[in-house]
Amino acid sequence: MASSLHRFANPNRFMRLSGAVLPWAAVITAILFPIGLYLALFASPPDYQQGETVRIMYVHVPAAWMALFVYTTMAVASAVALIWRHPVADIAARAASPLGAGFTFIALATGALWGQPMWGTWWVWDARLTSVLILFFLYLGHMALFDAFDDPTKGARAAAILALVGAVNVPIIHYSVEWWNTLHQPASILRDGGPSIAASMLWPLFIMAFAFKAYFVTFLLVRMRSDITAAKLRALRRTQVEGAGMSAATPAAAEADRA
């Protein structure tokens, strides 16, 4: 496993592979989102209890799934970076963090919009909502730590440790509706006995979930490629500055020798 990871630790190899994957991910995103939104907003039926407000589900649920998925991805990348000193893993964790924060914010905002007509309130401090809010703050803390130190290596290490410590919140979020008495409904899709949602609603939900996943892959690769390119430019400028300094020092040294 370590040898396989080190093969992909080469930024040049990653740039080649991501360059091949990126167009496909972008095309899948561009195809799935219009289809999913059309099915969710127009083709799927209203719920017999919730009415038209159930359409919030098609954004809220995929965003909540992605909030957990992205944090798990970030924690795994952080572990790889800490254990195997994998440079691309650090870049992946940094690139994923703002995307995960965005998904978490969408989940919180749409959850509030959905909760108001269903529960009669925008927010309650129950286990599910509170743990997702903590997840949002973990994302913000992860982003802040990367830029909190003059030494980028220390920032990356501190952010990686936070990602690993915060990973304990992921199972808490998932099982919170089973462990505690909350207003939030229990799982209706990933549960024993199969989904309790009708197929006419389930398919649009899955298509939107795949659209969110393709969006994440697309912009994760875009951000990682951008970070690697920026790092190469910084290294090139540093080499040029050092080379100019050496060139300026050589005539001065020769003049000193003649003196």
Residue 2 scores a pLDDT above 80: no
Residue 63 scores a pLDDT above 80: yes
Taking the C-alpha atoms of residue 82 and residue 89, their distance in angstroms, rounded to an integer, is: 9
Compute the average pLDDT of residues 32-60. Answer: 93
- For residue range 149-188, list pLDDT tens digits in order: 988 899 999 999 999 999 999 999 988 888 877 777 776 6
CA 246 vs CA 67, 179, 238, 241, 250: distances in Å: 50, 65, 12, 9, 6
Name the more confident of 113 and 186. Answer: 113
- For residue range 121-132, list pLDDT tens digits in order: 999 998 999 999
Q: Identify the pLDDT of residue 257.
A: 57
Buried b (16+ CB within 10 A) or exposed e, 39-59: bbeeebeeeeeeeeebbbbbb
Average pLDDT, the chain: 88
Confidence of residue 192 (pLDDT cuts 50, 70, 90): low
Q: Identify the pLDDT of residue 250.
A: 61
User: Whose CA is closest to 95, among 163, 39, 36?
Assistant: 163
Residue 220 amino acid letter: L
CA 166 vs CA 86, 139, 219, 253: distances in Å: 21, 9, 23, 55
Looking at 5-14, 42-51, 100-109, 198-207, which range is the least confident one? 5-14
Residue 233 scores a pLDDT above 80: yes
Q: Is the pTM of this model over 0.85?
A: yes
Sign of CA dihedral 104, 109, 112, 114: negative
Residue 49, CB-side half-sphere exposure with 13 Å CA sphere: 3
CB of 78 closer than 8 Å to CB of 89: yes
By percentage, how much of the chain surpasses pLDDT 90? 64
Residue 246 amino acid letter: M
Name the more confident of 27 and 49. Answer: 27
Residue 79, CB-side half-sphere exposure with 13 Å CA sphere: 11
Taking the C-alpha atoms of residue 132 and residue 109, their distance in angstroms, rounded to an integer, is: 11
Q: Is 120 helix (H, G, I), strand (E, B) or coil?
A: coil
User: Beta-strand (E) ranges in 56-212?
Assistant: none
